Amino acid sequence: MIPFQSLADTYSTPLYLYDFDAMKEQFDTLKEAFRGRKSILAYAVKANSNLSVIKHFASLGSGADCVSIGEVRRALMAGVPSYKVIFSGVGKRDDEIREALISDILYINVESEAELGRVEMIAQEIGKQARISIRVNPNIDPQTHPYISTGLHDNKFGVEINAAKRMYIRAKNSPHLDPVGIHFHIGSQLTALEPIYEAAVIVADLMRSLSAIDINLKFFDVGGGLGVQYDDETTITPYDYSQAILGALKGLDVTIICEPGRFLTANAGYFLTKVLYEKKNGSKRFVVVDGAMNDLLRPSLYKAYHRVEALKNEGECTPADIVGPVCESGDFLAKEYPLPMMEHNDLLIVHSAGAYGFGMGSNYNTRGRSAEVAFENGEARLIRARETFEDVIALEREYL
């Protein structure tokens, strides 16, 4: 049992709390599902990029999927070996490409023909051969929220099959490029298996046709996307997921790379917030708390559901909007949520906050970002201090 109240008292609120044992359990479960096959789990750092979280996964043997050079630096600092680091993303700057090549990471996931040209040029400039993988857009509807769907031609990500073929041939013929992998990622919070299987089949077929022209790729990178339970959704089991991918890969001898983010961290994280006041506007009930959209943006941005638990759960529940102090009507953590009468300083625990929580936070309304605490083996430790006012204004100039 996590001592939520005493942790909230010790570290104050709003607070992010991560159960490191639960993260390990998720990692081990997914790794186990691919047992017997060459595989690398490359943790998608964007889900929760705290250095201690990355270090935790690195210690379990994880690689890292990164989408900026900042994330690559975090991964390397946290002890992920360079040969397990991948650099993805639709728009990489020249300096980012250069640094990734110098850092000798596993490969760069290339997302356009123009980008392939930049990578080739920069590799030539610094006298390196760039290991690359190409992100294929298989034009599959992942059946998830439109903002986190990425594998349709309508989305900005990846290249279509024919463009990918051209790019592989170009890479094969370039002394500065070494095509080693193929990549797809059709979306996040996936709860249907069929689209993943269909995408894997399309991309595996492309891999076979490349092999027929003597372009032999080592890595089959299936992206991330495995959904988790926020409410009552039915999710894909790691075993079914791995079987679908292995089913598409029949006859191919490849290392599977998987880039899970949410699956590893979401349900291991909690956002703790305290009640400031109860209020009513007409018959509408509001519970005003000290956490806000700048701390946890998902409800405001995606209308995402997060389960909320009142630690002191006494009395009849009636629906309330749980809102923060930020000056936006869109600042809410939950709408029409059944809660008992709350008092000043009562604690609310927002569940499933370990992925895309802290990382999507901001300083809007000059609010310092929350502290982050790890809980492991029955003990808590601070892994990021709460931002002070001085931290928030530290980079501003010429105001005196």
Residues binding ligand LLP (CB under 6 A): 44, 47, 65, 88, 148, 185, 188-189, 223-226, 259-263, 298, 355-356
Residue numbers annotated as active site: 327
Cα distance between residue 69 and residue 82, in whole Å: 13
The answer to whether 193 and 244 have CB atoms below 8 angstroms apart is yes
379-382: which pairs have CB atoms within 8 A and are 24 or more residues apart?
380/7, 380/10, 380/11, 380/17, 382/11
The answer to whether 249 and 204 have CB atoms below 8 angstroms apart is yes
CB of 67 to ligand LLP, least distance (A): 7
CB of 352 to ligand LLP, least distance (A): 10
CA-based max dimension of the chain:
72
Nearest to 326 by CA among 359, 280, 361, 291: 291
Q: Is 144 helix (H, G, I), strand (E, B) or coil?
A: coil
Cα distance between residue 180 and residue 218, in whole Å: 5
Residue for token pair 């279509």: 160
CB of 301 to ligand LLP, least distance (A): 7
The answer to whether 299 and 306 have CB atoms below 8 angstroms apart is yes
CB of 224 to ligand LLP, least distance (A): 3
CB of 213 to ligand LLP, least distance (A): 26
Burial zone of 185 (CB within 10 Å; 0-12 exposed, 13-18 middle, 19+ buried)? buried
CB of 180 to ligand LLP, least distance (A): 17
Cα distance between residue 373 and residue 18, in whole Å: 6
Q: Give 259 or 290: the residue with its C-beta nearer to ligand LLP.
A: 259
Nearest to 322 by CA among 355, 299, 302: 299
